[in-house]
Amino acid sequence: AAAYAAMLCRPDVIAAYPITPQSEVVEQLAKFHADGLLDCEYVTVEGENSAQNVVCAATMAGGRAFTATSSYGLVYMYDAMFNTAGYRAPVVMVNVNREPPGIHAVCSGQQDMISVRDTGWVQLVVENCQEILDTVIMAFRLAEDFDIQLPVIVNYDGYYLSFLAESVDIPAIAEVDRYLEVLKRQPPRPQLLPGQPIGCGSHGIGMGYVELRKKHMAAMERVKTKLEEIEGEFAEIFGRSYGGQIEEYRTEDADIVLVTSGSAVGTARAVVDAKREEGVKVGLVKLRLFRPFPKERLSAALRGRKAVGVLDRSICFGWDCGPLYMEVRALTPEMGILPLLSFIDGLANMDITKEHIAGMIDEIKAAAEGRPYQEVTWLP
């Protein structure tokens, strides 16, 4: 799905270095290129650090660029990611979530995306294969918008989604051209061109550095409303929408809410439906936008609840909880004082089962009723 989306967006440059579970993305793009379906520079590099530098340079020269990675590859390009963000280079990258170095685990987990949350990239997290395809297309529209000009990562769970075969609606390339056409009508962004020398990545100290950081932060904040705007236009053309920054499910009258992201959302929906049949007023909030964090919309969605649980597929070392839980906990003043529970599950390809989520909802409900609760629970 990610490869088809990238092809439909007509990139000028693709940098490719395979790593499990991302490999199928660059393999499929290589096939498209060999078959003449993809007219671009397909650069097979010697490693992920080079891949990131290639796509950064391509966008700085005015091109559209795409790459993909996972885990160790994301870590290997870490320093280059700071450059790409600092240069305001509108790269689009897919990160197929996999546990990072430390304990060698060739399996799913979201710790890799957490490790780069403060590099200055926009980060989106998706639930299924259709959303992968649609969000990659939206990511190009977002990254290259004149008011944004920031690199974007589209994260999706390795193995659970990367090796999943399911039906996906692939739009006509003419429709994608129509959706991206607006980018051709905006003012040109700064470019590195022969014969037109400009400074790039030069030494910056003091107020000059601060000014650039403030502008970067302001652009990140604009992403929140811009994402919902471009998703609205996407829905008009393609008939699909995902809620923008977050997606709420059965929260209208919910006393308790579970917050999570990624492929576990589908399982959580099924459990919420089952619990509703039992008379439990539970809702679900799916986090789509991770950076910038959708604090305004999320705090509004959680305000007034009797208890909230947060399900993470990663951990926050030194804070004894999940990273998403830590972000939600920071919203406590806006949400009001309430029981807030952290659940850590699904590390290293461990399945997040219906039984696990049902147990989480039972614990959240007990906390809402005033019973003692454990702040952090590891599963299984």
Out of 204, 238, 272, a domain closes at 238
340: Cα separation from own chain's centroid: 24
pLDDT beneath 50, residues of the chain: none
Out of 238, 255, 286, a domain closes at 238
The alpha carbon torsion through 15, 18, 22, 25 (nearest 10 deg) reads 60
What's the confidence (pLDDT) of residue 193? Answer: 83
Same domain, yes or no: 282 and 372:
yes
- Cα three-residue angle 216-147-59, rounded to 5 degrees: 80
Same domain, yes or no: 32 and 176:
yes
Q: Are strands 246-249 and 340-344 parallel, antiparallel or unpaired?
A: unpaired
What's the confidence (pLDDT) of residue 333? Answer: 86
Same domain, yes or no: 254 and 212:
no
222: Cα separation from own chain's centroid: 16
Q: How many domains does the chain have?
A: 2
pLDDT in tens, 117-156: 999 999 999 999 999 999 999 999 999 999 999 999 999 9
What's the confidence (pLDDT) of residue 190? Answer: 83
pLDDT in tens, 182-193: 999 999 888 888
Same domain, yes or no: 22 and 119:
yes
What's the confidence (pLDDT) of residue 200? Answer: 74
The residue segments making up the domain with residue 155 are 2-238
C-alpha–C-alpha distance, residues 260 and 264, integer Å: 7
pLDDT in tens, 80-102: 999 999 999 999 999 999 999 88
Tell me, letter by letter, the H, E, C secondary structure of 2-16.
HHHHHHHCCCCEEEE
Same domain, yes or no: 228 and 109:
yes
The CATH number covering residue 203 comes to: 3.40.50.970
Contact partners, residue 372, CB within 8 Å, separation at least 6: none
What's the confidence (pLDDT) of residue 64? Answer: 98
Same domain, yes or no: 208 and 253:
no
Same domain, yes or no: 326 and 199:
no
Same domain, yes or no: 44 and 188:
yes
What's the confidence (pLDDT) of residue 196? Answer: 82
362-to-249, 311, 313, 346 alpha-carbon distances in Å: 18, 14, 19, 19
